[in-house]
Chain A
Amino acid sequence: MSPVLARRFAVRSVTILVLLLVATVFIIPLFYMVLGSFKNPLEASAFNMALPKQWHAANYSAVIREGSLGRAFINSCLITALSCGLTVFLCSIASFILARKGSRSAELLYYFFFLGSLAPMQVIPTIQILKVVNLYGTYASAILVYAALNLSFGCFLYTGYIKGVPRALDEAAMIEGASLFRIFFRILFPLLTPVNVTVSILIFLSTWNDINIPIYFLPTPAKWTMPLSVYGFFGRYSSDWNLVFADLTLTAIPVVVLYLAAQKYFVSGLTSGAVKQ
């Protein structure tokens, strides 16, 4: 083997080894959960890394049945996907202006939006406002509230990234007489793919796992989302931890799968050669 190849092999091996070690730290706590989901109730309540004496895959079917996970899953998908999409849309177009416009007002608006990441949600007034517009208790109320909550964070991320895209691109298109729509949707938005994907995933994550909005704004079990289903399996004095773990594993899987699938959108290279200095 040539010295160059040998060296590359060594670098790769070391890197993978280091990564594996680090990964172990990340994975061990997860093992507790996944192993526990296959145990019987007593074993699961020991919360250790011991392997189950018997692998009770039936825990999963029990959980899906008793927790109405099918319906909860659909609710989660619906609410999360729509609020995510709404937020991405509203944030990207707003941030486009916030990032490009150099005026004082735009600057102030930026900080105005930023405030939302700092402040907590006030539940009672929000409910009262929703009642006024007759939306309380509907799926739409949850979607709109999630969007309102995530707008701040979303605009913050988008503005940062759009600033990194050369303004020269916009200007070149403007010279050619392109409308704002065209500049944004046809030119800029595709360039933001890594950011779009990132923002989508992060908003998806926080919305998927949230239990507060459904509790306060969707007081109907039929509309509840997956993370809430777990509360049917444990009480203060008596819990079925094996079922709890099975439920939580199922709840975690969609986001993990999504993240893995989204990896291919993290393409490298951007505008290489498009604009010459």
Chain B
Amino acid sequence: MRATDRQYTYYWILPAFVLYAVLFVAPLVIGLYSSLTNWTMGSRMPTRFIGLGNFEFIFSDSELLHAIGDTFVYTIVVVIFKNLFGLILALILSTRLSGQMRVNNVFRTIFFVPAVISTVVLGVVFTRILHPLGLLNEFLKSIGLGFMAQNWLVNPRIVMLSIAGVSVWQWTGYHMTIYLAGIQSIPQDYFEAAVIDGAGVFQRLRKVTIPLLAASININLILALIGGLRGFSEVYVLTNGGPGTASQVLTTEVLSKFAQGRWGLGTALNTVLLVLVALICIPLLRQLRKQEIEE
């Protein structure tokens, strides 16, 4: 602990802490209790404590296990591509490559807009675009890539990838925005010093930009992970877990259980999701924080 640490008083954390603890954490803990019961809406029996019964069910049900697997596949794809594309776009749009700042601003906004679009539109529009006779396949045919045309949202082998694609489309601009803020926070001196030292564009990128973007990369990776593991709306509006159960993910299964009135089981499933997300994100966070450069 540094000498000046004493000056930073805990009191400033208090308001945030109180609000968060009362309106989020407390309900969470209370809610977690129901995952240990057989609470079912409209049940003829009273609710009773069943210990880990729900969890035993979850890990022996093939449909749910399949959903867990699909969730992972989906997450890996979105994390990689959202960050890759987001970073590239941010890099291009933070320079003067296109000439004017105004041009940059317009493009930045265009790339961000998909994040603003309601899921209703997303569902209706993309189910048309990804239809076997829809825009995407027509386009592929027109440029001679007809053999690549697929039944994007029906073929069980690629449906999760298709949904991932839509999610990447929607959120790349969002991640780009975070990268932009990070890039803009890098003091100009570093770049100037690098140029003086004779570093080329790619060297500057590797040695200056990316290391100093550690915080943004960190943030974006974690956000994309959380977004992927807890992804719901895009799956729901594009396929609702279908056809059949080909594209079910954990969150849609949770909804399905709630719709069946099995609130105890649904909460248990949510708890499993929470533990999974925590197990992946917290160690990653700790690892990444160590690499952050602090002055």
Query: Which residues does A use to contact B, with CB under 8 Å?
Result: 11-12, 15-16, 19, 22-23, 25-30, 32-33, 47-49, 90-91, 93-94, 96-98, 100-103, 105, 109, 111, 113-126, 129-130, 144-145, 147-149, 151-152, 155-157, 160-161, 163-168, 170-171, 174, 180, 194-195, 197-198, 201-202, 205, 209, 227, 230, 241, 244-245, 248, 251-252, 255-256, 259-260, 263-264, 266-273, 275
Least distance between B136 CB and chain A CB atoms (Å)? 10
CB pair A266 B180 closer than 8 Å: yes
Chain A residues, CB < 8 A from B226: 117-118
Q: In the complex, what distance in Å separates the CA atom of A163 from the CA atom of B2?
A: 15
Q: In the complex, what distance in Å separates the CA atom of A151 from the CA atom of B20?
A: 7
Least distance between B174 CB and chain A CB atoms (Å)? 7
Chain B residues, CB < 8 A from A113: 16, 20
A103-B5, A160-B215 are contacts. A167–B294 as well, Cβ < 8 Å? yes
CB-based nearest A residue for B277? A118
Chain B residues, CB < 8 A from A255: 116
CB pair A122 B27 closer than 8 Å: yes
CB < 8 Å neighbour of A160 from B89, B112, B292: B292
CB < 8 Å neighbour of B222 from A124, A156, A171, A263: A156
What range describes how many residues of B lie at the interface?
35 or more
A19-B98, A93-B12, A195-B181 are contacts. A47–B124 as well, Cβ < 8 Å? yes
Chain A residues, CB < 8 A from B169: 25-26, 29
Give the 6 A-B CB pairs with smallest separation, nearest first: A122-B31, A125-B27, A166-B295, A148-B23, A94-B16, A125-B30
CB pair A29 B270 closer than 8 Å: no
B202 at the interface (CB under 8 A from A): no
CB pair B92 A32 closer than 8 Å: no
CB pair A147 B19 closer than 8 Å: yes
CB pair A201 B177 closer than 8 Å: yes
CB < 8 Å neighbour of B7 from A47, A93, A126, A174: A174
Chain A residues, CB < 8 A from B126: 29
B143 at the interface (CB under 8 A from A): no
Q: In the complex, what distance in Å separates the CA atom of A134 from the CA atom of B244?
A: 44
Given contacts A29-B117, A155-B16, A202-B174, 9 further A-B contacts (CB under 8 A): A12-B99, A22-B89, A115-B25, A116-B20, A118-B278, A160-B219, A171-B4, A198-B178, A230-B118
Q: In the complex, what distance in Å separates the CA atom of A29 from the CA atom of B134?
A: 12
Chain A residues, CB < 8 A from B142: none
A16-B99, A16-B103, A259-B109 are contacts. A96–B218 as well, Cβ < 8 Å? no
CB pair A121 B181 closer than 8 Å: no
Number of A-B residue pairs with CB-CB distance less than 8 Å in the complex they form: 271
Q: In the complex, what distance in Å separates the CA atom of A1 from the CA atom of B9?
A: 62
CB pair B19 A26 closer than 8 Å: no
Q: In the complex, what distance in Å separates the CA atom of A246 from the CA atom of B86?
A: 29
Q: In the complex, what distance in Å separates the CA atom of A148 from the CA atom of B26?
A: 11
Q: In the complex, what distance in Å separates the CA atom of A16 from the CA atom of B183?
A: 21
Chain A residues, CB < 8 A from B19: 90, 144, 147-148, 151
Chain A residues, CB < 8 A from B182: 161
CB pair B8 A122 closer than 8 Å: no
B189 at the interface (CB under 8 A from A): yes
CB pair A96 B181 closer than 8 Å: no
CB < 8 Å neighbour of A270 from B98, B105, B185: B185
Chain A residues, CB < 8 A from B295: 164-168, 275
CB pair B112 A259 closer than 8 Å: yes
B120 at the interface (CB under 8 A from A): yes
CB pair B115 A122 closer than 8 Å: no
Least distance between A176 CB and chain B CB atoms (Å)? 13
CB pair B92 A129 closer than 8 Å: no
Chain B residues, CB < 8 A from A256: 109, 112-113, 116
CB-based nearest A residue for B227? A117
Chain B residues, CB < 8 A from A49: 135
B50 at the interface (CB under 8 A from A): no
CB-based nearest B residue for A255? B116
CB pair B292 A163 closer than 8 Å: yes
Least distance between A94 CB and chain B CB atoms (Å)? 4
CB pair A160 B92 closer than 8 Å: no
B43 at the interface (CB under 8 A from A): no
B46 at the interface (CB under 8 A from A): no
A27-B110, A47-B128, A248-B118 are contacts. A109–B277 as well, Cβ < 8 Å? no
